[in-house]
Structure 1
Amino acid sequence: MATHNLQNHTLNGDHCDSTVPSSKKPKLSSPATTTTIISHSQIQSEFSHHDLSIARINNGSFGSCPQSVISSQKQWQLQFLRQPDHFYYNQLKPGILHSRSIVKSLINADHVDEVSLVDNATTAAAIVLQKSARSFYEGRYDKGDVAVMLHYAYGSVKKSVEAYVTRAGGRVIEVQLPFPVKSKEEIIAKFREALEKGKENGKKVRLAVIDHVTSMPSVVIPIKELVKICREEGVNHVFVDAAHGIGCVDVDMKEIGPDFYTSNLYKWFFCPPSVAFLYSRKSSGQDNNDDLHHPVVSHEYGNGLAVESSWIGNRDYSAQLVVPSVLEFINKFPGGIEGIKKRNHEAVVEMGEMLVKEWGTHLGCPPEMCGSMVMVGLPVCLGIYSESDALKLRTHLRNNFGVEVPIYFRAPKDGEVDPVTGYARISHQVYNKVDDYYKFRDAINKIVSDGTTCACLPN
Structure 2
Amino acid sequence: MAKTAKLAKRDFGSFHASNVQELLNLSEEEYEPPAFPDGLEIPSFTAESIEFGSKFRDDHTLLEKSCTFLNHGAFGGVLKETLEYAQKWQRYTERQPLRFFDRELLPHLAYVTRRLANFIGCHPKDLLLMNNATTAINTVVHSIPLEKGDVIYCLSVTYGAVKKLLKWRCQQKGAIYHEENISFPLAGPNCILDLVTKTLKPGTKLAVFDHIPSNTPFLLPVAELTKICQDRNIPILIDGAHALGSVNLQLDLFSPDFYVSNCHKWFCCPKGSAFMYVKEGRQSQIRPLIVSHGFDSGFNSEFIWTGLHDYSPFLAIHVMINFWDVIGKERILSYMYDLRRKACELLVNEWNTGMLVPEKLQGSMGLVQLPPSLSQTLDVVDYSAAEQIQNTLYHKFNIEVPVKAIQGKLFVRISAHLYNSIDEYSKLAKAVLDLLPNCKK
TM-score, length of structure 2 as denominator length? 0.86
1:406 aligns with 2:402: yes
What does 1:283-298 align with in structure 2 at a 5 Å threshold? 286=281, 288-298=282-292
Q: Which amino acid is the alignment partner of residue 409 of structure 1?
A: A
Residue 61 of structure 1 corresponds to which residue in structure 2?
Answer: 74
Q: For residues 68 and 327 of structure 1, what CA distance do their matches in structure 2 show?
A: 12
How far off is 1:250 after superposition? 2.9
How far off is 1:332 after superposition? 4.1
- Counterpart contact for 1:20–1:91, Cα < 8 Å: no
Q: Secondary structure at the match of 2:285?
A: coil
Residue 139 of structure 1 corresponds to which residue in structure 2?
Answer: none
Moved more, 349-358 or 47-56: 47-56
Moved more, 398-407 or 302-311: 302-311
Q: Secondary structure at the match of 1:122?
A: helix
How far off is 1:233 after superposition? 2.5
What does 1:180-195 align with in structure 2 at a 5 Å threshold? 180-195=185-200
Q: Secondary structure at the match of 2:205?
A: strand
Q: Secondary structure at the match of 1:267?
A: coil
1:300 aligns with 2:294: yes
Q: For residues 277 and 368 of structure 1, what CA distance do their matches in structure 2 show?
A: 27
Residue 9 of structure 1 corresponds to which residue in structure 2?
Answer: none
Sort the Cα spacing of 1:325 and 1:48 in 2 relative to 1 into closer, same or farther, 3 A: closer
- Counterpart contact for 1:100–1:116, Cα < 8 Å: yes
Residue 411 of structure 2 corresponds to which residue in structure 1?
Answer: 423
Residue 134 of structure 2 corresponds to which residue in structure 1?
Answer: 122
Q: Supply the RMSD in Å over aligned alpha carbons.
A: 2.2
Q: Which amino acid is the alignment partner of residue 182 of structure 1?
A: A
Q: Of 414, 421, 432, which aligns to 1:433?
A: 421
How far off is 1:20 after superposition? 10
- Counterpart contact for 2:351–2:371, Cα < 8 Å: yes
How far off is 1:129 after superposition? 0.2
Question: How far does the alpha carbon of each residue in 1:39-66 deviate from its partner, in whole angstroms, 9 at most, with x for none?
Answer: 3575233345211111101111111112
Residue 181 of structure 2 corresponds to which residue in structure 1?
Answer: 176
How far off is 1:262 after superposition? 0.5
Residue 206 of structure 1 corresponds to which residue in structure 2?
Answer: 205
Q: Secondary structure at the match of 1:179?
A: coil
Sort the Cα spacing of 1:371 and 1:305 in 2 relative to 1 into closer, same or farther, 3 A: farther
Q: Which amino acid is the alignment partner of residue 311 of structure 1?
A: W
Residue 386 of structure 2 corresponds to which residue in structure 1?
Answer: 390
What does 1:56-455 align with in structure 2 at a 5 Å threshold? 56-109=69-122, 111-132=123-144, 135-136=145-146, 142-195=147-200, 198-199=201-202, 204-235=203-234, 237-282=235-280, 286=281, 288-333=282-327, 336-383=328-375, 385-412=381-408, 421-448=409-436, 451-453=437-439
Sort the Cα spacing of 1:22 and 1:38 in 2 relative to 1 into closer, same or farther, 3 A: closer
- Counterpart contact for 1:38–1:332, Cα < 8 Å: no
- Counterpart contact for 2:55–2:419, Cα < 8 Å: no
Gaps of 5+ in 1: 1-15, 137-141, 413-420
Q: Secondary structure at the match of 1:371?
A: coil
Q: For residues 21 and 316 of structure 1, what CA distance do their matches in structure 2 show?
A: 16
Q: For residues 119 and 221 of structure 1, what CA distance do their matches in structure 2 show?
A: 24
How far off is 1:21 after superposition? 8.7
- Counterpart contact for 2:57–2:420, Cα < 8 Å: no
- Counterpart contact for 1:382–1:452, Cα < 8 Å: no
Q: For residues 273 and 419 of structure 2, what CA distance do their matches in structure 1 show?
A: 21
Residue 21 of structure 2 corresponds to which residue in structure 1?
Answer: none
Q: For residues 19 and 116 of structure 1, what CA distance do their matches in structure 2 show?
A: 27
How far off is 1:439 after superposition? 1.2
Question: How far does the alpha carbon of each residue in 1:90-128 deviate from its partner, in whole angstroms, 9 at most, with x for none?
Answer: 22111111111111111111x211000111110010010
How far off is 1:328 after superposition? 2.1
Q: For residues 158 and 270 of structure 1, what CA distance do their matches in structure 2 show?
A: 26
Q: For residues 363 and 39 of structure 2, what CA distance do their matches in structure 1 show?
A: 34
- Counterpart contact for 1:145–1:205, Cα < 8 Å: yes
Moved more, 323-332 or 263-272: 323-332
Q: Which amino acid is the alignment partner of residue 342 of structure 1?
A: S
Q: Which amino acid is the alignment partner of residue 184 of structure 2?
A: F
Gaps of 5+ in 2: 1-34
- Counterpart contact for 1:58–1:426, Cα < 8 Å: yes
Q: For residues 228 and 291 of structure 1, what CA distance do their matches in structure 2 show?
A: 21
Q: For residues 360 and 332 of structure 1, what CA distance do their matches in structure 2 show?
A: 40
Q: For residues 411 and 65 of structure 1, what CA distance do their matches in structure 2 show?
A: 33
Sort the Cα spacing of 1:376 and 1:389 in 2 relative to 1 into closer, same or farther, 3 A: same
How far off is 1:194 after superposition? 2.0
- Counterpart contact for 2:355–2:367, Cα < 8 Å: yes
How far off is 1:300 after superposition? 2.2
How far off is 1:232 after superposition? 2.3
Moved more, 288-297 or 264-273: 288-297
- Counterpart contact for 2:354–2:369, Cα < 8 Å: yes
Q: Which amino acid is the alignment partner of residue 124 of structure 1?
A: A
Sort the Cα spacing of 1:106 and 1:130 in 2 relative to 1 into closer, same or farther, 3 A: same
How far off is 1:131 after superposition? 1.1
Q: For residues 392 and 437 of structure 1, what CA distance do their matches in structure 2 show?
A: 20
- Counterpart contact for 1:125–1:160, Cα < 8 Å: no
Residue 51 of structure 2 corresponds to which residue in structure 1?
Answer: 39
How far off is 1:305 after superposition? 4.5
Question: How far does the alpha carbon of each residue in 1:232-288 deviate from its partner, in whole angstroms, 9 at most, with x for none?
Answer: 2232x1111100111112322122220000010111111010111100011xxx2x1
